């Protein structure tokens, strides 16, 4: 129980403001983009939601000044040469194909040069996954214009969601939580972690048997494979770049430590040796080192070590409760408790540091911001934002200093990955 309280201490705090959009604006030369909707035969509710998703994706991409007004135009009409209010035009149309599948066509047009830049069509078998058509359109727009990678828009988010006492489901969705699909249900299922960037499989901890058990689920083959089980706790906190090694938190003697598990050899290597609590291991610096959370100073904070060395380096000298972290390249983002109110709300903020310098940057300003997770691009961060009995997903675009919150209206998020 002490270990579980340590891992989940951040979730007990309350937030002092509502879950609303947070944006820090920068002055820039982003092109102005106008959106024209040519949809006529798709129901109005879906049509309106799709337009809002496009506006939201273009805004989160951080490359555009987005005209949020919905303009109506027939998709096949010529582009008016009198459209001078803007740099780019994105025209689209939703429709159903001959097989009844939801489809879309889009056109990207340079208004200044009067030149077509991109024209594509999209089809999706499951109508409920329509958000991913919007995400793919904006991804393709960014790619056509030569902007930095926007693949995070297309990625699935996987998370564990509390649904009742000792009940938590594993859910996949898009980053806005508009699309959600439960893939593991029944009992207590925690700490999902994608097995690779391809997102074809994931690991999670099943707490429903006599001992916690780590499973690997192949989404496309529909198979579940047992990896290992143990006493106390079994959590996969990170997967190596090649997908062959797992960083696990195990407590075979009710004392949690970090272990390295080789999937091919089926071997287990103990990484940390400490009489207290070591949890949440993450690979850093191309897998050569491991960052983790430990209470060896009497409170949780962030440390690092080489896999084959006993020497441990303290990375964080800020805060007295740093209970979760994520890594990308040479960078670490961690959650730090800023207040110590025994009977009231506490504030948890996110900080970015480098393992190679004294660089530190605060990423959030208030509220409860916990369980950060880097996107594969290393430029985008996902985290949990908590407010009273409600939680949401937070997105931070690090290069552009912008953040956004998407509430979860039913249930409460336990942990996330993407």
Overall average pLDDT of the 245-266 stretch:
95
User: 135 with 160, same domain?
Assistant: no
Overall average pLDDT of the 247-267 stretch:
95
Higher pLDDT, 338 or 23: 338
Pairing verdict, β 402-408 and 390-397: antiparallel
Domain that holds residue 396: 2-21+156-417
User: 311 with 378, same domain?
Assistant: yes
Do 293 and 283 touch, CB atoms closer than 8 A?
Answer: no
User: 110 with 176, same domain?
Assistant: no
User: 176 with 317, same domain?
Assistant: yes
User: 409 with 388, same domain?
Assistant: yes
Higher pLDDT, 19 or 269: 269
User: Residue 336 maps to which CATH number?
Assistant: 2.120.10.30
Cα dihedral 173→178→182→186 (10° resolution): 120
pLDDT for residue 4: 42
Helices vs strands, H then E, count in the chain: 3, 30
The band of 389, judged by pLDDT with boundaries at 50, 70 and 90, is: confident
The band of 390, judged by pLDDT with boundaries at 50, 70 and 90, is: confident
Does residue 26 lie within any of the structural domains? Answer: no
Does residue 151 lie within any of the structural domains? Answer: no
- The whole-model pTM stands at 0.90
Does residue 231 lie within any of the structural domains? Answer: yes
Final residue before a domain boundary, out of 120, 144, 168? 144
10 Å Cβ neighbour count for 357?
8
Do 394 and 407 touch, CB atoms closer than 8 A?
Answer: no
How would you write 299-349 as a 3-class SS string?
Answer: CCEEEEEECCCCCCEECCCCCCCCCEEEEECCEEEEEEECCCCCCCCCCEE
User: 183 with 124, same domain?
Assistant: no
Nearest Cα to Cα of residue 24 among 398, 413, 407: 398
User: 266 with 399, same domain?
Assistant: yes
Query: What residues contact 304, with CB distance under 8 A and at least 6 apart?
Result: 284, 289, 290, 291, 292, 312, 313, 315, 355
pLDDT at 185 over 90: yes
Q: Name the least confident of 128-132, 155-159, 241-245, 317-321.
A: 317-321
Count of domains forming the chain? 2
User: 140 with 256, same domain?
Assistant: no
Does residue 69 lie within any of the structural domains? Answer: yes
Average pLDDT, the chain: 90
The band of 18, judged by pLDDT with boundaries at 50, 70 and 90, is: very low
pLDDT for residue 28: 56
Do 170 and 183 touch, CB atoms closer than 8 A?
Answer: yes
The band of 366, judged by pLDDT with boundaries at 50, 70 and 90, is: confident
pLDDT for residue 27: 40
Which tokens sit at 155?
Answer: 């990625």
pLDDT for residue 388: 73
Overall average pLDDT of the 2-8 stretch:
43
Nearest Cα to Cα of residue 42 among 116, 134, 111: 134
User: 160 with 261, same domain?
Assistant: yes
Query: What residues contact 129, with CB distance under 8 A and at least 6 apart?
Result: 179
The region, left, alpha or beta by phi > 0 then psi within -120 to 50, assigned to residue 258 is beta
The band of 82, judged by pLDDT with boundaries at 50, 70 and 90, is: confident
Distance spanning both ends of the chain, measured CA to CA: 28
pLDDT for residue 19: 38
Which tokens sit at 149?
Answer: 């990678």
List, for residues 163-184, the tens digit of each pLDDT value: 999 999 999 999 999 999 999 9
User: 36 with 168, same domain?
Assistant: no
The band of 382, judged by pLDDT with boundaries at 50, 70 and 90, is: very high
Does residue 368 lie within any of the structural domains? Answer: yes
User: 89 with 234, same domain?
Assistant: no
pLDDT for residue 21: 36
Do 377 and 2 touch, CB atoms closer than 8 A?
Answer: no
- Best-predicted range by mean pLDDT (78-87, 320-329, 387-396): 320-329
Does residue 120 lie within any of the structural domains? Answer: yes
Overall average pLDDT of the 1-8 stretch:
43
Query: What residues contact 185, with CB distance under 8 A and at least 6 apart?
Result: 169, 170
pLDDT for residue 335: 96
The band of 280, judged by pLDDT with boundaries at 50, 70 and 90, is: very high
Does residue 132 lie within any of the structural domains? Answer: yes
Pairing verdict, β 380-387 and 278-284: unpaired
pLDDT at 246 over 90: yes
Which tokens sit at 169?
Answer: 């489901």
User: 339 with 230, same domain?
Assistant: yes
Ordered alpha helix ranges (H), 62-186: 131-144
Final residue before a domain boundary, out of 144, 171, 191? 144
pLDDT for residue 6: 43
The band of 341, judged by pLDDT with boundaries at 50, 70 and 90, is: confident
Do 252 and 241 touch, CB atoms closer than 8 A?
Answer: no
User: Residue 119 maps to which CATH number?
Assistant: 3.40.50.10070
Final residue before a domain boundary, out of 144, 175, 197? 144
Does residue 197 lie within any of the structural domains? Answer: yes
Percent of the chain with pLDDT over 90: 79
Alpha carbon separation from 412 to 168, 270, 324, 359, 394 (Å, rounded):
9, 33, 18, 33, 14
pLDDT for residue 23: 35
Q: In the block, which residue shows the tokens 């942990």?
A: 415
Do 327 and 340 touch, CB atoms closer than 8 A?
Answer: no
Alpha carbon separation from 183 to 119, 198, 200, 220, 414 (Å, rounded):
35, 17, 13, 12, 15
10 Å Cβ neighbour count for 210?
7
List, for residues 32-53, the tens digit of each pLDDT value: 999 999 999 999 999 999 999 9
CA angle (282 as vertex; 281, 286 as ends), nearest 5 = 140
């Amino acid at each position: 129980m002490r270990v579980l309280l340590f891992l989940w201490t951040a979730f007990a705090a309350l937030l002092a403001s509502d879950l609303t959009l947070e944006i820090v604006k920068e002055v820039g030369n982003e092109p102005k983009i106008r959106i024209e909707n040519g949809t006529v035969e798709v129901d109005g509710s879906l049509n309106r939601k799709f337009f809002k998703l496009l506006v939201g994706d273009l805004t989160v991409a951080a490359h555009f000044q987005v005209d949020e007004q919905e303009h109506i135009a027939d998709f096949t009409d010529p582009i008016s040469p009198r459209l001078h209010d803007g740099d780019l035009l994105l025209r689209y149309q939703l429709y159903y194909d001959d097989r009844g599948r939801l489809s879309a066509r889009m056109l990207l047009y340079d208004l200044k040069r009067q030149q077509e830049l991109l024209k594509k069509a999209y089809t999706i078998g499951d109508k409920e996954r329509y958000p991913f058509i919007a995400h793919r359109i904006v991804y393709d727009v960014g790619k056509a214009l030569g902007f930095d990678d926007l693949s995070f828009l297309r990625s699935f988010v996987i998370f564990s969601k509390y649904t009742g006492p000792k009940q938590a489901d594993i859910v996949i969705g898009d980053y806005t939580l508009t699309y959600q699909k439960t893939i593991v249900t029944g009992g207590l299922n925690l700490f999902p972690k994608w097995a690779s960037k391809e997102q074809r499989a994931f690991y999670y901890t099943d707490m429903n048997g006599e001992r916690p058990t780590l499973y690997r689920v192949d989404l496309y083959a529909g198979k579940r494979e047992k990896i290992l089980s143990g006493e106390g706790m079994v959590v996969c906190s990170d997967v190596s770049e090649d997908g062959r090694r797992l960083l696990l938190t195990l407590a075979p003697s009710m004392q949690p430590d970090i272990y390295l598990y080789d999937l091919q050899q089926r071997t287990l290597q103990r990484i940390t040796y400490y009489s207290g609590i070591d949890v949440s291991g993450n690979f850093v610096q191309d897998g050569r080192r491991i960052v983790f959370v430990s209470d060896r100073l009497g409170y949780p904070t962030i440390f690092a070590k080489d896999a084959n060395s006993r020497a441990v380096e303290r990375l964080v000298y800020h805060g007295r409760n740093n209970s979760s972290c994520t890594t990308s390249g040479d960078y670490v983002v961690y959650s730090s408790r800023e207040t110590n109110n025994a009977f009231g709300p506490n504030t948890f903020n996110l900080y970015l540091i480098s393992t190679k310098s004294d660089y530190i940057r605060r990423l959030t300003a208030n509220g409860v911001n916990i369980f950060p997770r880097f996107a594969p691009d290393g430029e985008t961060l996902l985290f949990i934002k908590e407010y009273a009995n409600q939680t949401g997903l937070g997105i931070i675009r690090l290069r552009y200093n912008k953040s956004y919150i998407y509430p979860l209206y039913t249930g409460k998020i336990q942990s996330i990955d993407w």
